[in-house]
Amino acid sequence: MRLCGWFRSKFSAEWELAFALDANPVKTSIRNHRSHCCRINLSLPEPAQLSDRNVFSLFNHPFIRAMRPKHWVKNSFVLAPLFFGGKLTDTTAAIHVFACFIAFCLAASAVYLMNDTLDREKDRLHPLKKHRPIASGEVSIRQAQWGIILLLAPAFALAFYADFSAGLVVLGYFLLNVAYSLFLKHIVILDVATIATGFVLRVLGGALAAHVEPSHWLLIATFLVALFIALIKRRQELRSAGNIAEDQRSVLSDYSLEMIDLLLAIVTPATFFVYLAYTLDADTVSRLSAPHLYLTSIFVLFGLLRYVALTFGNELSESPVSILFNDKTLQFTVLLWAGMFAWIVYN
């Protein structure tokens, strides 16, 4: 009970501080003018407003951008058990896993809103993050609070529909990210390990929804891939921030480029060899009837090396997601890997 009380008071204090720092003058005057009605504007553009422009401009709405739909690609890990478990043709499993996927997307967007609310002052010091809707004042704190509620409600509903245990995993994922936003992100190594654990929970949630027992090798590989990506992000943040790195993210003061490069030198080959072990594992070969699955490791190795090369060659890009979206070679490598894996398993 004491722990719950501490957690509630800690979160409330952080939230009230973020609310107090919502100091955009234009937004403040508008809210003061409308304070008597306490209306929350989460409206999207009217259809008439979209008639003379591309419908995809809807994604430029501040609240939609604050949800970061481009980052939903991270939740594709939820689909991994369906793919790796040989259940792509199982309609029931596919429906449940897709419901779990949407649940993770909504929960992740709620986490982004919460994290951006708490970090808005530091984000304003960042050359790129200062343009985020909450940091720039396009989305108010109150709008973000309501957005979190409106996103979490269907997220948990879909997750528990997919599978009760999967629902608990989504709940655990959200609580883990609350802890990350409040204190775990300030602890060196533990910050990136927490991010990696979030990806493992995605795979575990998908496995429970599909009623597939995930391979321990697959879970370890997922953790290492996510750790690899998180370390690359920290490296890019440290490189671009320079002398004000600590002001933008306090944990960066405990990192150095040499330290991260050393960790990447360990994690990169470890990721490849764990995946190779997964493809050669007797249980995997027997369950999937795929003795030649190890051939897909060629694309995994090339993809990892390509990612590292792009990271060291483009010091201004901080988002690992943007690297995937912008590099055609990396995209083609992923497609070749997925195609060969599917051909070996489902042929």
d(CA 309, CA 323): 11
pLDDT at 64: 87
pLDDT at 50: 44
Going from N- to C-terminal start, the domains of the chain cover 66-214, 215-242+254-347
pLDDT over 70 percentage in the chain: 78
Half-sphere exposure of 249 (CA within 13 A, CB side): 27
d(CA 174, CA 180): 10
Cβ-Cβ contacts under 8 Å for 280 (sequence gap 6 or more): 293, 294
Burial class (CB in 10 A: 0-12, 13-18, 19+), 113: buried
**Which superfamily does CATH assign the domain made up of 66-214 to?**
UbiA prenyltransferase (1.10.357.140)
Q: pTM here?
A: 0.77
Placement of tokens 């997964």 in the chain: 278
Model confidence over 248-286: pLDDT tens digits?
A: 677 888 888 899 999 999 999 999 999 999 999 999 898
Model confidence over 25-67: pLDDT tens digits?
A: 444 444 444 444 444 444 444 544 444 455 456 667 888 888 8
